[in-house]
Structure 1
């Protein structure tokens, strides 16, 4: 039975690999919709999906901590991605404290603390193994010159909170969507991704999907009223669009990760063009 199952999986993987990019994108969309429908049926309180997304992100950080402490190397990791993650988490934590203060505040605090530890470890304790030449994504463009940063000044929540808090909220939403790009660039540069780094990025992909599913299902559950609660204008649509973009940025990597795991490979080899 197991050889037959493996043969079937390999046949499906081969068929998918041979499809043109547009067909692959369509298949990914269909699979995503099917997964959201499944979550809608099995998860009663869809707000728990966002908590699950934050928990999965924390698990991913735990994998990094294990790698750094046990293997004593940060090869293959992007310091820039960690710094972007710390930045959007710090801004989101600030917004959480002044605007809502709930379980998300606690989860963001824990994730931010561990991310700062990872940054410290890469920058100082394991600096010799840091691949600085491969970590060459223009991070300052993402933060200071990116249209996403300017976008937060124009498109932000229209709630009753102070304007600076609403702009910060928008900024962290937009920045989170691109924070993984430097890590993907590093992996594309080195082509071969060791298991712990692959597990971490896959965890980010799962977290992003759960967060996206949370927003989509919340909109469906409230028959669109959630969009009104988030404010008027373009902001509600930008929140959903940002979640979808984050999910699709990692979808390609997650496909190759699953393919590698099903094939029993200990390392992940990325073909050219996977970003």
Structure 2
């Protein structure tokens, strides 16, 4: 049976992430665009917190795609390769958060394939990451704004993040139950990307500027998350019907 998420744990994770959000917000401009972006970052940190809470509290990684987590670790590593040469006093906090993203991503991968590997859905999480990584890299080579390695890898990370949820969606289509932690994690992650789409929409509305690569990837990712939420909703409806039959 699925395990519901204790309210106290989600409340604690939310308070921790709210503190991060407040500091980040104070470091940024007070414009609406930056407020939207920072709220998106807050949701992203919240998704990390919920996923770590699941791993630590349940001692299980059931329902979590290790393949997707590997892709996210690659995404953040490739995107923030400029950290050693791009740290300044003004951006120290933001740079620190990038390091945190990379560290937590690899920590999650380690926990799934290390201490909690016995609970990993290895037989269901079988999508080959190579089929996602290679096309994204080739596309980045041809669509990057310039040929510098940092720029190409940044573009690659944008494309890869857009489809990194596919192994998770594939896993959800093969399992029957999903716990509340996984639902909260996916919800926070999906809303985080929705906030970034809203940020780009606001930027275009106010300045007529848009980022083609990020906007295209954002639409693709939002569409995939919509499919994820449809699948989760279907699973929860089926679970409720099963419980009703048992009670009756």
Q: Shorter chain as normaliser: what TM range?
A: 0.7 to 0.9
Q: Does 1:137 align with 2:124?
A: no
| Aligned match of 1:36 | none
Task: Provide the secondary structure at the position in 2 that maps to 1:47.
Answer: helix
Shift of 1:239: 2.1
| CA 1:218–1:106: 2 relative to 1, 3 Å | farther
Residue 6 of structure 2: aligned partner: none
CA contact (8 A) 1:97 1:105 kept: no
Whole-angstrom CA distance in 2 between matches of 1:267 and 1:80 = 29
1:68 aligned partner: 55
Under a length normalisation based on structure 1, what TM-score does the superposition of the two structures give?
Answer: 0.68
1:31 alignment partner in structure 2: none
Q: Which residue of 1 aligns with 2:144?
A: 156
Q: Indicate conservation of the 8 Å contact 1:56/1:207, yes or no.
A: yes
Residue 51 and residue 96 in structure 1: after superposition, are their counterparts in 2 closer, same or farther (change >3 A)?
A: farther
Matched, 1:105 2:105: no
8 Å CA contact retained: 1:192, 1:268? no
Contact in 1 for aligned 2:63/2:121 (Cα 8 Å): yes
Match of 2:196 among 200, 207, 211: 211
Q: Secondary structure at the match of 2:123?
A: coil
SS in 2 for 1:206: helix
Deviation per CA, 1:88-136: give whole Å up to 9, x if none: 0111121455468635433222122112111111111011111111111
After superposition, the Cα gap between the structure-2 partners of 1:239 and 1:99, relative to the gap in structure 1 and judged at 3 Å, is farther
TM-score between the two structures when normalised by the length of structure 2? 0.75
Aligned counterparts of 2:124 and 2:185: Cα–Cα separation in 1: 18
Residue 69 (structure 2) pairs with residue 82 (structure 1): yes
**What value does the CA root-mean-square deviation take over the aligned residues?**
2.7
Aligned counterparts of 2:123 and 2:230: Cα–Cα separation in 1? 27
Larger RCO, structure (CA 8 Å, separation 6 or more): 2
Range with greater deviation from structure 2 (63-72 or 101-110): 101-110
Give 1:94's match in structure 2, choosing from 58, 71, 81: 81
* Aligned counterpart, 1:189: 174
Contact 2:61 2:112 in 1 (8 A): yes
CA contact (8 A) 2:172 2:232 kept: no
**Using the alignment, how far apart are the partners of 1:127 and 1:257 within structure 2?**
23
Structure 1, unpaired ranges of 5+:
1-42, 228-235, 270-275
Unaligned runs of 5+ in 2: 1-29, 243-248
Count of equivalent residues = 210
Retained in 1: the 8 A contact 2:80–2:98? yes
